[in-house]
Amino acid sequence: MQRIGIYGGTFDPPHMAHLRIAEEAREQFDLDCVFFVPNRQPVHRGSAAADAEDRYAMLILATADNPAFRVSRDEIDRPAPSYSIDTVSLFRQRYPNAELYFIAGADEVAMLHTWKDADRLLSLCRFLAAPRRLEDVSVAPPRPGILPIQMDLLPMSSTEIRRRIALGRSVRYQMPDAVLRYIMSRGLYRILEESA
């Protein structure tokens, strides 16, 4: 039976921790492939700093050298907002016999009860929770259908990367070189966000 990972998020920008989480999930849960699914408009946070097409392009560049990684336009091409239940339902229709695994940060999974149609979502897929903070590393799954990804913490965030770029500081080795070149060529993240 095919096992498919669905890794939703803003990816603003995609960085090495995103790739490492996807690779750990793929290896630990024997996934055949992992689909990165960038959203058009995040539901639980403000607008993305880069537009959806730029984030999609950066993900294509970031995942290009891993044959198990794919990038989906499903949420970008769907009118906002992006709900995970809609995406997982679409994957369930496309791959009716596959086991589906939704990859997210443990902090996001802890708030699963606030997600649209959370119970139905848990009936369609399993959740793989990646540690984002030190306290996430040793926490047991809070509900059936939620499995922890065993991995070291990667202290890296898109927010901090955007801040460093806006300040003119180096972000080398925090993302693939191709993504960094794209950011520089497009002049992305040059204005410091007021909320950062």
Strand order across the beta sheet in which 3-9 lies: 69-71, 33-38, 3-9, 99-105, 126-130, 146-148
- Mean pLDDT across 10-28: 97
- Mean pLDDT across 34-50: 85
Say what angle helices 177-186 and 52-63 make with each other, to 10 degrees.
150
**What percentage of the chain reaches a pLDDT higher than 90?**
74
Of 8-12, 21-25, 39-43, 140-144, which range is least confident? 140-144
pLDDT of 60 > 90? The answer is: yes
pTM value > 0.95: no
User: Model confidence over 102-127: pLDDT tens digits?
Assistant: 999 988 888 888 999 999 999 999 99
- Mean pLDDT across 150-177: 93
- Give the pLDDT confidence score for residue 139 in this predicted structure: 47
Task: Give CA separation, 181 vs 23, 49, 54, 184, in Å.
Answer: 23, 17, 13, 5
Residues whose CB falls within 8 Å of the CB of residue 117, separated by 6 or more in sequence, listed in order: 83, 85
pLDDT of 191 > 80? The answer is: no
- Contact status, residue 115 vs residue 88, Cβ threshold 8 Å: no
- Give the pLDDT confidence score for residue 119 in this predicted structure: 93
pLDDT of 194 > 50? The answer is: no
pLDDT of 24 > 50? The answer is: yes
pLDDT of 76 > 70? The answer is: yes
**What percentage of the chain reaches a pLDDT higher than 70?**
90
- Give the pLDDT confidence score for residue 155 in this predicted structure: 83
- Domain annotation for the chain: domains and CATH numbers: 3-153 (3.40.50.620)
The mean of the pLDDT values for the chain is 90
